[in-house]
Amino acid sequence: MERLTRYDVAEYHGVKMVVVESDLLPPDPAVVVIPLLADYPAVKELNPSILVNGRRLILATRLIAAVRRSSVRRVGNVAEQGDLINRAVDILVAGV
The answer to whether residue 73 sits within a structural domain is: yes
The answer to whether residue 3 sits within a structural domain is: no
Contacts of 34 (CB under 8 A, 6+ apart): 17, 18, 20, 59, 60, 61, 63, 64, 65, 85, 88, 89
The answer to whether residue 45 sits within a structural domain is: yes
The answer to whether residue 2 sits within a structural domain is: no
The answer to whether residue 1 sits within a structural domain is: no
Domain that holds residue 52: 8-94
The CATH number given to whatever domain includes residue 67 is: 2.30.30.110
Contacts of 4 (CB under 8 A, 6+ apart): 10, 19, 31, 69, 72, 74
Question: What's the pLDDT tens digit per position in 7-25?
Answer: 999 999 999 999 999 999 9
Report pTM. Answer: 0.94
* Number of folded domains that form the chain: 1
Question: What's the pLDDT tens digit per position in 22-76?
Answer: 999 998 999 999 999 999 999 999 999 999 999 999 999 999 999 999 999 999 9
